[in-house]
Amino acid sequence: MEISSKPILPGSQVIVKDVNSIYRGYKGFVQRVTKKNAAVLFEGGNWDKLITFQLANLELV
């Protein structure tokens, strides 16, 4: 995958690339962004989950 020069903004679709995370490979939507973190919403079937990740561990889809 190539590194994107576009910023991660609310509404962006991202994929988790952190090798130590159980959410690695999951795709979600960014809900809010702070200095170094982003809250990502994962939706699937009968569950929704909002998890905070460091921006360095996310990649635009």
> Closest Cα partner for 29 from 15, 40, 39?
40
pLDDT band at residue 30 using 50, 70 and 90 as cut-offs? very high
State what percent of residues in the chain have pLDDT above 90.
84
pLDDT above 60: residue 1? no
Two tokens, residue 39:
């809250």
